[in-house]
Amino acid sequence: KQEVTQIPAALSVPEGENLVLNCSFTDSAIYNLQWFRQDPGKGLTSLLLIQSSQREQTSGRLNASLDKSSGRSTLYIAASQPGDSATYLCAVSPYNTDKLIFGTGTRLQVFP
């Protein structure tokens, strides 16, 4: 059974710091891995999608890497801003199923 874990569960940092959020999954048989952002009580905004054949994806200040063989992904946020404060979820798309398996999330707070 696929399990997805995110570390840390919560993070509070001053503005301007570079951050690394970690995601690990137990079964490497995945199509892709996706990082989402969720503001309190709001929907899920897709940040980055990494296909299983890819090693990383970049969008602005965000960079996500994928090491499928070791079951790990990291989301790197450069020069963090208060507007980055949200919960960040990673999710994997396993083979032979439609569903996304979500991690438990990292709750990020960036203070001025």
Q: In what order do the strands lie in the sheet with 4-7?
A: 4-7, 19-25, 72-77, 62-67, 56-59
Does the footprint of other proteins cover residue 32 (CB under 8 A)?
yes
HSE-CB of 60 using CA atoms within 13 angstroms: 8
Of 21 and 101, CB closest to other proteins: 101
Does the footprint of other proteins cover residue 111 (CB under 8 A)?
no
Q: Which residues are within 8 A (CB) of 85 and not within 5 positions of it... i.e. 6 or more apart?
A: 108, 109, 110
Does the footprint of other proteins cover residue 31 (CB under 8 A)?
yes
Distance CA 111, CA 16 (A): 9
Does the footprint of other proteins cover residue 26 (CB under 8 A)?
no
Of 3 and 17, CB closest to other proteins: 3
Of 18 and 26, CB closest to other proteins: 26
Give just the sign of the alpha carbon dihedral 47, 59, 52, 71. Answer: negative
Query: Which of these segments, 9-17, 39-47, 67-75, 76-84, binds other proteins (CB under 8 A)?
Result: 39-47
Interface residues toward other proteins, by CB under 8 A: 31-32, 34, 36, 41-46, 49, 51, 89, 91, 93, 97-105
